[in-house]
A and B are shown apart, each in its own frame.
Chain A
């Protein structure tokens, strides 16, 4: 009468079911714009180091909780709290603690640098399903070259240890760039020594606000990315696995993920959008109601134009992860090819062979 279904497959099945019914099962609350680190490759970076909420620009704790109550009534189950850096909010626990009593499966993204022993202890009283901390290097020199903040490596390690001591579920991840890829193995060893799961991602997106980005300076080459995903388990994320096994393409459907069908994001100002990387349509749930705002997101996605004819005709499309968000960030459209993804698709084809090719290059 009860099932102890394996967590991953159950989560996937729930998302499939929700997407068919247009239920917003998965939500992201971006609690703050600001961060205490200034990573050059970050899509969300607004360095300030100052405390949040930023007066007049970010929702109050009361507003976030009202949003959560309405979202729950509409079907929200998986809730990610992220930023910026969420622990810069003075009122983080005023938001977090009531959320833990509402029946969500909560994940918290943080850089870990502000997690003192008292904060870890308080989190442990009602822990999220998972905290994910980004590790940007295995040495202070590399880590701080990326974050731009002296002392941040030691602070991050202390934060990790505070969470471990307090038994808060924790996963480490890294954002791989040309500045830290040489320390991938050492970062994996650090995670292993702490007894933590570890994964890496090499996919660096530009800023969705189309402001200047240093991301090109950080990105690995397409060949390096494909080498990593094919040889290093921790670097093969769901997207690259899907690419290797063949994307579940629908012939002309532009949004192939669950965004706008089962997932949404709300930015610090309270705008509801398709995803963090695609800040459209900017619906206002606190003004028109959560359900109406969600319907605007669903409508935006369901009425999106098909991918460009160049993409539809591309023989390497099965190996490409381009989506409308990437097109918007890279060329200001929802539909046109993204050269970085074209390079990755070509590198994958070279490595794995065409899907029909019986003799892929080993």
Chain B
């Protein structure tokens, strides 16, 4: 899966935000706040990644076990998919 190119990650004063680009402004009507883990995953999704690769990267980066990382990754990826912000 890979993120679509009509959202841009902006970091302002340590706060990570997803900003809609182009016609996406009409669908989103605002910005989306990302926490640290979500922001990390979003950056990974610039390249095509599998769930397993994301889980491994999150577990390594935040030094958590794979079960916890897997739950976080699946929650976020489900959210992204529902919103239509990634392509699989």
Contacts and interface: CB of A to CB of B under 8 A. Distances in A.
A77 B9 CA distance: 11
Interface in A112-154: 124-129
Contact of A2 (B10, B12, B34): B34
Given A17-B12, A101-B21, A127 B26 contact: yes
24 contacts: A1-B35, A1-B38, A1-B72, A1-B75, A2-B76, A3-B32, A7-B29, A17-B14, A21-B13, A23-B13, A25-B13, A77-B17, A100-B22, A101-B22, A102-B8, A103-B21, A105-B19, A124-B23, A126-B25, A127-B23, A129-B25, A129-B29, A129-B30, A169-B26
A2 B26 contact: no
B19 A104 contact: yes
Contacts of B25: 100, 126-129, 169
Nearest to B28: A129
Contacts of B15: 14, 17
* Interface secondary structure of B, over-half rule: mixed
Interface of A: 1-5, 7, 10, 14, 17-18, 20-21, 23, 25, 75, 77, 100-105, 124-129, 167, 169
* Interface secondary structure of A, over-half rule: loop
Interface in B25-74: 25-26, 29-35, 37-38, 41, 72
B43 to A, nearest CB: 13
Interface residues of B, number: 28
B87 interface: no
B76 A1 contact: yes
Contacts of B76: 1-2
Given A14-B12, A21-B13, A125 B23 contact: yes
A63 to B, nearest CB: 23
Contacts of B79: 1-2
Contacts of A23: 12-13
Of A7, A17, A125, A126, the most chain B CB neighbours within 10 A belong to A126
Contacts of B8: 102-103
